[in-house]
Amino acid sequence: MEDMLWALSLNPMRGKPEERIPVARAATKEALEQYMERERVPTYQDVGEHPNYPGPYTYQKVFRRGGPLEWYNFPFQPEPAANHFQEIPNESMWVENARAEWQQQVGRLPDVS
């Protein structure tokens, strides 16, 4: 069977502190680490709206302006405690798992058509 994939999950700046959202996938954890470092820039401030605070809010951003990670926080805790990098099934594993689940739930029913 093919190898697992890796997903990078980060905390959105406009979300809850405990929230993490998958933002990228790669064949290796190292590729995700390299991607995150390529997007990283020196910390800069950006003023905008925040759903939990009235009026203007100053964001401390660490990812490239306009980039796919701009509105996400950099991981504050080291791995593995932070759990930002997660192994996930690849496409063929998802399909096989879905097929097995269908067989268990639907495939065992008699076809009366």
Closest Cα partner for 21 from 75, 100, 80, 79?
75
pLDDT of residue 1: 43
Q: Is the pTM of this model over 0.85?
A: no
Residue 76 has phi, psi (to 5 degrees) of -90, -30
Task: State how far the Cα of 31 lies from the Cα of 29, in Å rounded to an integer.
Answer: 5
Model pLDDT, residue 78: 58
Give the residue ranges of the chain where pLDDT is below 70. Answer: 1-2, 77-82
Question: For residue 49, what are the CA distances in angstroms to 23, 40, 52, 59?
Answer: 22, 22, 9, 9
25 neighbors 88 (Cβ within 8 angstroms): yes
The type of residue at 13 is: M
